[in-house]
Amino acid sequence: MFLGAFDGPDGVIVVLILLVLVFGGSAIPKLARNLGSAKTEFEKGLKSSKETDAKASATTEGSAESDAKDGDTPH
């Protein structure tokens, strides 16, 4: 109910004013820069994780295919 008051452009303006009052005008650019850096690092981590998962699944699939070609069956 209370959060509904911050919907729309009026809510954004109220939130921005509160941020300036709480953190001060000079701290807002630093805060935004830190949030941007954190977002970039998070995206790098996701990309790295996806690449690692893709390599691991390709390696597992490759070894399963070579096992099947050799006629070896896991017990």
Rounded Cα distance between 6 and 23, Å, is 19
Please, is 34 exposed, middle or buried when counting C-beta atoms within 10 Å of its C-beta (0-12, 13-18, 19+)? Answer: exposed
Q: What b/e string do you get for 40-66 counting C-beta neighbours within 10 Å, with b at 16 or more? A: eeeeeeeeeeeeeeeeeeeeeeeeeee
Q: Name the strand (E) or helix (H) holding 72.
A: none
Check residues 61 and 63 and name the one with the higher pLDDT: 61
Write the pLDDT tens digit of every residue in 38-54: 999 999 999 998 888 88
> pLDDT tens digit string along 1-43?
466 666 778 888 888 888 888 888 888 888 889 999 999 999 9
Q: Can you give the pLDDT at residue 7?
A: 73
